[in-house]
């Protein structure tokens, strides 16, 4: 039985990401058959594209999101430095098939959390957080029918990593414990005003952060100091088109805006 080559799969997927092209699925001989094989592909992207991992994202943090892409739980994936943008950025949608904006609470780490046998506690994770930020993600998949690609291929595809806008830093304080009830309000330039709450993200964005930390730890990966974690959509994903703009208000965490070109 021939085992798929993680490097060949990573070259194919990362190459499509760089060129803005999509595919139906990986060729059978390159297709990962398990989450472990998917992670082996994901782990090679940074070298293939010659870029740093600036942070980590969590896909499918809501039950609706998990059902939409037919996975049993959330998925972790890297966010690469070349696709991290600041407040007010303009993001190109020409090669983006998903075309959604996701308003997300972002945590930046002040100290590294290395793999270990015992799970990290909520207090340990929060003690490692340096700052919070408002964020808007514009995800995309290399698979045209991403909702049918399956868990292993989606992990290999870095959990639909693409563009991430990260706003200004704010220091964590006691209000972090109340993030489930934080209301996030978005305004789209066409007049739509979608909103949501922190509890849409695995019940609590801090819980999502803890999940990501322990997912990386359990699979032998380190969450480095300076890297961020974007925790999933507080507001249901907002369909966007070129020429539109989204402004998002995260209350005490701050505001940010992004344009789509």
- The pLDDT assigned to 73 comes to 84
- The CATH number that applies at residue 58 is 3.90.850.10
Residues, the chain: 261
11: in domain: no
Per-residue pLDDT reduced to its tens digit, 80-101: 999 999 999 999 999 999 999 9
> Would the pTM of this model clear 0.85, i.e. be above it?
yes
φ, ψ at 231 (rounded to 5°): -100, 0
Q: How far apart are the first and last CA of the chain?
A: 46
What does the block give as tokens for 146?
A: 């991403």
20: in domain: no
pLDDT score of 51 more than 50: yes
42: in domain: no
**What range defines the domain where residue 87 resides?**
52-260
| Closest among 136, 158, 145, 152 to 232, alpha carbons compared | 136
Q: How many domains does the chain have?
A: 1
14: in domain: no
pLDDT score of 244 more than 90: yes
φ, ψ at 141 (rounded to 5°): -115, 150
């Amino acid at each position: 039985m021939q085992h798929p080559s993680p490097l060949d799969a990573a070259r194919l997927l990362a190459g499509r990401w760089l060129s803005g092209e999509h595919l139906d699925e990986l060729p059978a001989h390159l297709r990962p058959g398990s989450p472990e094989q998917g992670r082996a592909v994901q782990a090679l992207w940074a070298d293939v594209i010659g870029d740093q991992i600036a942070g980590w994202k969590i896909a499918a943090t809501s039950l609706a999101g998990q059902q939409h892409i037919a996975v049993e739980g959330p998925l972790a994936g890297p966010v690469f430095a070349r696709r991290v943008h600041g407040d007010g950025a303009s993001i190109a949608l020409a090669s983006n098939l998903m075309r959604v904006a996701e308003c997300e609470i972002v945590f930046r780490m002040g100290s590294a959390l290395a793999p270990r046998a015992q799970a990290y506690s909520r207090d340990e994770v929060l003690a490692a957080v340096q700052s919070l930020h408002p964020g808007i993600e514009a995800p995309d998949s290399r698979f045209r029918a991403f909702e049918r690609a399956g868990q292993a291929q989606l992990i290999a595809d870095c959990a639909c990593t693409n563009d991430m806008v990260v706003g200004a830093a704010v220091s964590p304080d006691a209000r972090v414990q109340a993030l489930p009830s934080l209301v996030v309000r978005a305004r789209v330039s066409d007049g739509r005003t979608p909103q949501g709450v922190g509890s849409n993200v695995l019940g609590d964005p801090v819980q999502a952060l803890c999940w990501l930390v322990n997912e990386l730890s359990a699979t032998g990966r380190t969450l480095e100091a300076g890297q961020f974690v974007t925790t999933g959509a507080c507001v249901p994903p907002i369909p966007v088109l070129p020429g539109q703009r989204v402004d998002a208000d995260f209350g005490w965490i701050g505001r940010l805006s992004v344009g789509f070109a």
